[in-house]
Amino acid sequence: MESRVNFKKLEKRGVTAAAGFKAAGIAGGIKKGKKDIALIYSDKPAAAAGVFTLNRVQAAPVHLCKEHLHNPIQAVVINSGNANACTGLKGMQDAQEMAVKTAETLALKKGAVMVSSTGVIGMPLPMDKIIPGIEAVANSLGRGIDYDLATALAIMTTDTRPKQTAYRCSTPGGTFHIGGMSKGSGMICPNMATMLAFLTTDVKIERDLLQQLFAEAADSSFNVITVDGETSTNDTALVLANGAAENIEITPRSEYLPLFKEILSKVCQELAMMIVKDGEGLTKVLTLKIKGAADECGGRKMARSVLNSPLVKTAFYGEDANWGRIIAALGYSGIEFDPSKVDIFIGPYQVAASGGAVPFSEEKMKKVLQERDISILIDLKLGQSEVTAWGTDMSHEYISINSDYRS
Amino acid sequence: MESRVNFKKLEKRGVTAAAGFKAAGIAGGIKKGKKDIALIYSDKPAAAAGVFTLNRVQAAPVHLCKEHLHNPIQAVVINSGNANACTGLKGMQDAQEMAVKTAETLALKKGAVMVSSTGVIGMPLPMDKIIPGIEAVANSLGRGIDYDLATALAIMTTDTRPKQTAYRCSTPGGTFHIGGMSKGSGMICPNMATMLAFLTTDVKIERDLLQQLFAEAADSSFNVITVDGETSTNDTALVLANGAAENIEITPRSEYLPLFKEILSKVCQELAMMIVKDGEGLTKVLTLKIKGAADECGGRKMARSVLNSPLVKTAFYGEDANWGRIIAALGYSGIEFDPSKVDIFIGPYQVAASGGAVPFSEEKMKKVLQERDISILIDLKLGQSEVTAWGTDMSHEYISINSDYRS
């Protein structure tokens, strides 16, 4: 039976891999000579689910998305180059106007449009460029490799490359797809940071179930990556499910629910990892597993504390197995644990046992630390939970990029 | 009446400015060729008060200090070069042995000795150097400029200069002194980070009152400075009051209580500011005032969030008035506020009003940002509280220092 269900990665595909979706990305003049307006369109009204920044300062488009989230959705319009954050009442009006213009151009209701923005904070949107840009992008919609790429390029800011992935799942009941794109490289922290992700799928699914599954997938992907501990004002991850894959309906009792969950998580994790790997100025990608925390929530908080620690990050940049900085960062995470029980491994080698030093070969460790990908395992020996999180080192390049971003 | 009470800074003085205190600092061989063992001694038993790291991982000497805090104290022994943290049972035994050896050498009870350590985490203390070092330092005790300096030098780690200050207060009732020394430059964060501070005073005061006044003074000094957001395993600030200044007793109803509080806060703030100004790789010192938070505790938490933000710190390093990063850091501080009410000033110039941009002269702002000392004012317009906190920018040099500290 198992062999009749399989899934396949679709190379170079993203938001239009799923049936019934079109997309486009164009240069609207917000950023000099680069693509900066993207549009995703579904032929049919789609169920939408989303997770948003936990920052108390939330950009205007985030407010609009939350308002529209329970509506049937047919379009997502996104601009890069300006975040429309800290822009007051004018910002809310501009976000509304983006939705209205998109709806008019595509003959939809305003409430069927989601809006997203990323870029500089505190400057009004250049609506003189955005309004004609929306008309242009709506006239450019299409399906396939070229359209996926153009769309993924148009949402980039300091990203050095476009980020997208897609899967086709074949089952005896029919075929369905999940694909998506993301952006983000600086200001990335768990619980959403200036990162955007947009997923599309052609399964049929109730909104509430989609929201539940998407929130779970985000918790083990977008919410466990960190570059610099910053949580932005604009973070948004959305998924649209339009039901265009005939016969495939995902319900709590559907036989394909586990497959759908697995592929949804896979797409989210791949999109999240692409953000980490494009982290500003990184030279190392850190994969941190924390075993034995009292619960997953606490484990994640500890993982963030370690991966956000400037002293841990600079130690890995310096290729130094400084486990004392790791245990100190666990200690100020705010989560209860027993320091005298903690084991720590870097790569395959144990560096701390029961909270104290373990001798290791400096030579063998050097080889582990010279790699670009480094795994860290912490065993707290308290409970049964296990969480994995991803982060980066912090380099001279990080300082360079961020000390002259605005000017 | 007022004119009969005055106070005077004592140049180049520190822990032996107060009557009845002796001190010394010697090179015991823990660090190559540098002073690394310090001792403070009081002729009379002194009341002791202390504040300690909030990190859940606490070094052995921190545990010992907490045990001895309610005893009459006559000596504080401190070593640099090794933190005696994450050293398990052996670490506790070593800290005890430091107290025992100090007590024996000075003919005191073990419980009259406080112990403090700073340096590398996770390595056992070199007791073969520490034990003879304690004997040597006890035989070197004295009073005056040279002894103050030697003691302040012996507690340094990555510090580039010794840190000490002292005041003499003259009143119709007699004269008293408060002096002290501190260390710390990396791993500094509010709520105590690898920083040590040791104060001495010759007033007579009950332990409980001293503890209350010292905790208050720490909250507006050691607990509102940050270099990199790290809270260490060893942070300790202690004050000893030995009553050697005759006739001056500080009680809740004493007429000199306000003066004592003022000078105690002054000494703590000066010692804290010396740590900030010696911050690893800093090029700017940021003084952040937050007005109008609902309460002081929330205001301090917001101040930490802003001053620990890598994006805020790199923006100031890049001399960029990027107030969007400041408001985003307020937003993820975890404290409730209304973003649409926030005013922000950098130097004398307003950059944000009611959460939105205010035009300012880039030329005038450039002059403000080129200074080493930069003030930031945030008005939340919620409550009456006002807090001030200090931090630094984050430079290429910070990365260099911390990427090869251990190796």
Contact A399 B404 (CB under 8 A): no
Q: Who has greater pLDDT, B393 or A375?
A: A375
CB proximity list for B309: less than 8 A, separation 6 or greater:
A229, A230, B325, B326, B328, B329
Strand-strand pairing, B6-9 and B163-171 = antiparallel
Residue B106, pLDDT above cutoff 70: yes
* A88/B310 touch (CB, cutoff 8 Å), yes or no: no
A-chain residues within 8 Å CB-CB of B356?
A: 86-88, 90, 122
Give me chain B's average pLDDT, please.
Answer: 91
Q: What are phi and psi of A384, to 5 degrees?
A: -100, -5
In this complex, the residue of A228, A311, A330 whose CB is nearest that of residue B187 is A311
User: Residue B163, exposed/middle/buried by CB under 10 A (0-12, 13-18, 19+)?
Assistant: buried
Residues of B in contact with A229 (CB under 8 A): 309-310
The pLDDT value recorded for residue A229 is: 59
The band of A31, judged by pLDDT with boundaries at 50, 70 and 90, is very high
B331-383 pLDDT, tens digit per residue, is 888 898 999 999 999 999 999 999 988 999 999 999 999 999 999 999 999 99
Q: Are A86 and A121 in contact (CB under 8 A)?
A: yes
Q: Do A339 and B232 touch (CB under 8 A)?
A: no
Which ipTM value was assigned to this complex? Answer: 0.70
- Residue A397, pLDDT > 80, answer no
Q: Is the Cβ–Cβ distance between B200 and B240 less than 8 Å?
A: yes
Question: What would the two tokens of residue A51 be?
Answer: 């997770």
Angle of helix B88-106 relative to helix B127-138, nearest 10 degrees?
A: 20
Is pLDDT above 90 for A176?
yes
Q: Which domains does chain B have, with CATH numbers?
A: 2-277 (3.60.70.12), 285-403 (3.10.20.340)
Confidence of residue B1 (pLDDT cuts 50, 70, 90): very low
Q: Is B290 helix (H, G, I), strand (E, B) or coil?
A: strand
Catalytic residue among A151, A171, A194, A201: A194
Nearest chain B residue to A326, by CA: B121
Q: Is the pLDDT of residue B404 over 70?
A: no
Look at residue A158 in the predicted model and tell me its pLDDT: 81
- Predicted confidence (pLDDT) per residue in A222-277, tens digit: 887 766 656 678 889 999 999 999 888 999 999 999 999 999 999 999 999 898 88
Span B273-285, average pLDDT: 85
Does the pLDDT at position B215 exceed 50? yes
pLDDT band at A106 (very low <50, low <70, confident <90, very high): very high
**Is the pLDDT reported for residue B234 higher than 90?**
no
Task: Classify residue B186 by burial, with Cβ atoms within 10 Å: 0-12, 13-18, 19+.
Answer: buried
Q: Where are the beta strands (DSSP E) in B19-112?
A: 21-26, 37-52, 73-82
Length reported for chain A = 407
Mean pLDDT of B219-228: 77
Q: Helix crossing, B396-403 with A310-317: angle to 10°?
A: 70
Q: Which of A315-329, B313-327, B388-402 has the lowest mean pLDDT?
A: B388-402
Confidence (pLDDT) at A1: 44
Select the more confidently predicted residue: A160 or A106. A106
- Cα–Cα nearest to A41, from A62, A20, A67: A20
Find the angle CA(B123)-CA(B124)-CA(B130) to the nearest 5 degrees: 125
The 3-state DSSP class for residue B326 equals helix
Mean pLDDT of A377-381: 97
Cα atoms found within 13 Å of the Cα of residue A245, Cβ hemisphere only: 24
Mean pLDDT, rounded, of chain A: 91
Q: Return the axis-axis angle of helices B310-317 and B296-308, rounded to nearest 10°.
A: 60
Nearest to B351 by CA among B310, B320, B381: B320
| pLDDT at residue B119 in the model | 87
Contact B322 A396 (CB under 8 A): no
Q: How many inter-chain contacts (A to B, CB under 8 Å) are there?
A: 206
- Considering only the beta carbons, identify the residue of B57, B329, B394 that sits closest to A330: B57
- With contact defined as beta carbons under 8 Å apart, do B76 and B114 qualify? yes
**Planar angle of CA B353, B358, B360, nearest 5 degrees:** 135
Residue A398 clears pLDDT 80, i.e. is over it: no
| Structure confidence by residue, pLDDT tens digits, A32-75 | 899 999 999 999 999 999 999 888 888 999 999 999 999 999 99
The shortest C-alpha distance from A365 to chain B (Å) reads 13
* pLDDT at residue B122, rounded to an integer: 84
Partners of B406 on chain A (C-beta within 8 Å) are 315, 320, 322
Q: Verify whether the Cβ–Cβ distance A186 to B233 is below 8 Å.
A: no
Does the pLDDT of residue A192 top 60, yes or no?
Answer: no
Q: How many angstroms separate the CA atoms of A117 and A96, rounded?
A: 12
| Residue B190 scores a pLDDT above 90 | no
Least-confidence region, from A32-41, A220-229, A390-399, B90-99: A220-229
pLDDT, tens digit (0-9, with 9 covering 90-100), for A107-139? 999 999 999 999 888 889 999 999 999 999 999
Q: Per the CB < 8 Å rule, is A396 touching B399?
A: yes
Which of the residues B54, B57, B157 would you substitute to probe the A interface, choosing the one with the greatest number of A C-beta atoms within 10 Å?
Answer: B57
**Helices (DSSP H) in B243-353: which residue ranges?**
257-277, 296-308, 310-317, 323-331
